[in-house]
Structure formats: C-alpha cells, structure tokens
Structure 1
Amino acid sequence: MFTVSFDKRDLDDLMRGLGNLPGEIKGKAIARALKHTTAIAKTRVIRKSAASTGMRQKDIRSVTIAVNTGADTASVIMRSGWIPLYQLGSVRQTRDGVSVRNWGTHQGTFLATMASGHAGVFKRSSAARLPVRELWGPNPAADVQNHEEEFMDVLESVADEKLRPRLEHEIDRLLRSL
C-alpha cells in the first residue's frame, strides 16, 4: 500500500491572509480545492505507474483511490497485489510459449484453464506433467514504493502547480455567490 496526503498546513500562509473570512467559506474552499488537486494527483500517479510497469492505465486505476478524509487532508492510495500475467491483456499461445502484449514471449509456458475455472499463464516446475506454477506480472503498489522519489516529485509538482491557484479560485467562487 502506498499513501500520499495533502495537508492544509501547507497553506498556512494563505490561510493567515484569509483569516477574516467566515469558517464555512474556508472549509468549503479547502475541501473543494483538495478534492480537485487529489483527482489530478491520482491521474498523474496512474500515468507514471502505467509507463513504469507497462500496464494499461485502466488496470492501475482499478487499484487506486483518491480519498478526501474530511479533516482538511486528502490521500491517493494504491493497493494491489501481483497481477497475473493472464490479466495484462492480449495474451495468446504461440509455438514457443505464451506471448503477452508489452511483455514479450515467455518460453515454455502455456495457457490453461483449471478445473475451478481459473485461467492463467502457467509453466511446468519439472519435466513431469505436474506441478505447474502460475506466472505473474507487475505489482503497481510495489513499483510506487520502489521508485518513491519519482512519484513524490510528481505529487509535489501537482501540489505546487494546482493547489494554491485552485484554492484561490474556490474562494472567489464562494465569495461571488454571497
């Protein structure tokens, strides 16, 4: 699991300047700005992870959530296990083995559906018919942890570029509605 949080303490200087605004306006503006910025951060983390792992963005998006915890903080959370090679899309059996899009051909492997209905890419553990073992692809959450600095740079750039301007926009929007 990998979690990144934005905290309103990063905006204390801006908040001091807005001290005479009603608390309701500040609270709504912060919540909306955090939600917007967190959504952008989630998208950028997904793009970076997809480029790094060779997976499709939609597969990574399914294991990534953006949460506004309500206490003036927001988090981007990625939880995943190892993804079976079979689920990486465009899997086909060839004479040499199984070919997987973006991952190449795995020599000596085969596609099979087990009696339970589970389909996968398998390789024999010995010369005998059994046992076989399933082959696995990447783990997006492990990739984020292994390249934490790169992902933190992405998130810091989102916070620097988007959070303060979005907060100012939301405050202006709320003040115009009064």
Structure 2
Amino acid sequence: MKVELRQGDAVLEGFANGLGALGEGQARKVMARALNRTGGPTLTKVRRELVRATSAPTAVVRKQVVASKAWAGAGDGPGKMEFVIRAAGRPLPLAMFKPREFSFGVRAKVWGKFQRYEGMFTRGGQWPARVPLGLGGHVFVRTSAARLPIKRAFGPSLPKELVEDKIVMVWRSSTARLGDDIAHELDRELSRFS
C-alpha cells in the first residue's frame, strides 16, 4: 500500500501557488511532512483492522506490518515522496491463536471467530490421558494415514491479508485526508514568514 505525491498530481494542483512561494526545498519538506501526517494514522488503522480481521496478536501485527516514511531529501536530492505500508512474514502458526484440543481435533479463534480444525492435534497419547508433545504448543496434522510424518498447521498470512478488500477500504478512507494534511503543513510553514 502506497501513498505517493508526484509532480502534476491532482491533489497538489490546489496548492501550487503556496508550494511555489516556498521554493523547491521547503515545498518538499511540507509534502513529506504531510505524507507522514496522513500515513502514520493510516498505518495504525490498518494494523488495528488486521488484528480484528485475522485475530492475530497485536505484537505480531506491529512487528510484521511496517511503514517506510516519506522524506524531503538532503540538499538538491529528490527525497522520497511516498509513504509505503508493507507486510512481511510467513503464514502465522495456529499456536498463536490459542488453540484448544478436543476429541474432534483443534479449535482456535482465527479470522474473528472460532474455527474447527478436524483431525489436528496439539498433544499425544490416547484419550482421555493425552500428554503434551513438548513441541512449543504448535498444532499438527498428519500427512498420511501413518502415525508419522506430521506437519505444523498455519493460519492467515499478513502479507496476503493486507491486500484484502476490507483492509484496502480502511487504507483508502484514511488516505482521503491527504489534501487537508498538505493544507495544514503549508499553512504552518507559510505562517513562519508572516
């Protein structure tokens, strides 16, 4: 997800006179601050919606969903007139979603509601005397009819969830305020010359 300002952008057209009065270097600073002013709260809203949509722990979402901020550049450098939200990481293990084992398999709260995972397990042994496997509380599933091999089970992947419609709608509604933030930063900078 990216919020970007380019020369000739429709959002900038209304501020052309004010930005021109500042000069190129100061105008870049104003635009970078406005992008970051819009992007910061947008990042927070996107993270909150990801937590709500996936049921992933907040700390994991904060670690995997990060932003690259805009900056004005040094001297005559062009800087970077974009605020980018990125998500990295593999699918999250079901162990992060507080799984509980039952006779049918495992139940965990994923994507905002409790899901049943038939045939999966977190412990070993015969019912009802099940014992912990000592494998970090992960959820496993057999890959064949035999006792082994087994593989870990995974839930949502934050990079995939970041481009889902619900998250994109949060991003679009939050970035709609970019014009107001440019006006705020421009007024702030022009008031220094008064």
- Residue 101 of structure 2 is aligned to residue 93 of structure 1: yes
User: Which has a greater percent of helix?
Assistant: 1
**Structure-2 residue corresponding to 1:73:** 82
The CA distance in 2 between the partners of 1:60 and 1:103, in whole Å, is 20
Measured in 1, the distance between the counterparts of 2:35 and 2:186 equals 13
User: Who wins on radius of gyration, i.e. which is larger?
Assistant: 2
Structure 1 residue 107, shift from structure 2 partner: 2.7
Using the size of structure 1 for normalisation, the TM-score is: 0.78
1:25 corresponding residue in structure 2: 26
CA–CA separation in structure 2 for the residues paired with 1:175 and 1:20: 9
Q: TM-score, normalised by structure 2?
A: 0.73
Change (3 A) 1:84 1:92: same
Q: Does 1:108 align with 2:128?
A: no
Distance 2:192 2:121 in 1: 63
* CA shift in 2, pair 1:68/1:79, >3 Å: same
Question: Distance in 2 between the 1:5 and 1:46 partners?
Answer: 16
Q: CA deviation at 1:81?
A: 1.8
SS in 2 for 1:20: helix
Unaligned runs of 5+ in 2: 72-79, 124-131
Unaligned runs of 5+ in 1: none
Structure number with the higher strand fraction is 1
Query: 1:114: Cα distance to partner?
Result: 7.0
Residue 169 of structure 1 is matched in structure 2 by: 184
* Distance in structure 1 (CA, Å) of the matches to 2:136 and 2:147: 18
| SS of 2:138 mapped into structure 1 | strand
Shift of 1:167: 1.6
